[in-house]
A = this chain, B = another copy of it.
Amino acid sequence: MCRWLAYSGAPILMEELLYKPRNSLVVQSLHSQLGAETTNGDGFGVGWYGTSDTPGVFRSTEPAWNDRNLRELAGQIVSPRVLAHIRASTGSPVQQTNCHPFRHGRWLWMHNGYVADLRTVRRDLAMEVDPALFPEIEGTTDTELLFFLALTYGLEADPPAAVARAVGFVEATGRRHGVEFPIQMTVVTTDGETTWAFRYSSEGRSRSLFHSVDVSTLREQYPDNPTLSLASDDARLVVSEPLGDLRGAWREVPESSCVTISGGQDEIRSFTPTVPSMAA
Contacts and interface: CB of A to CB of B under 8 A. Distances in A.
Interface of A: 30-31, 39, 41-42, 48, 50-52, 54, 56-63, 66, 68-69, 72-73, 75-78, 89, 92-97, 118-120, 122-123, 126-127, 131, 134-135, 137-140
Given A58-B72, A60-B69, 11 more contacts: A30-B39, A52-B75, A54-B75, A56-B76, A66-B89, A69-B69, A73-B73, A77-B77, A92-B138, A93-B97, A123-B134
A30 B139 CA distance: 25
B50 A76 contact: yes
Contact of A76 (B77, B94, B131): B77
Contacts of A72: 56-58
Contacts of A57: 72
Given A39-B30, A69-B60, A119 B94 contact: no
A48 B63 contact: no
Contact of A51 (B56, B78, B92): B78
A54 B76 CA distance: 9
A63 B60 contact: no
Contacts of A66: 41-42, 89, 94
Nearest to A117: B135
Given A39-B39, A51-B78, A56 B68 contact: no
Contact of A52 (B58, B61, B76, B92): B76
B135 A131 contact: no
Contacts of A137: 140
A96 B50 CA distance: 27
Contact of A135 (B63, B73, B122): B122
A207 to B, nearest CB: 20
A203 to B, nearest CB: 23
Given A39-B39, A72-B56, A76-B50, A96 B96 contact: no
Which of A31, A39, A127 neighbours the largest number of chain B CB atoms within 10 Å of its CB? A39
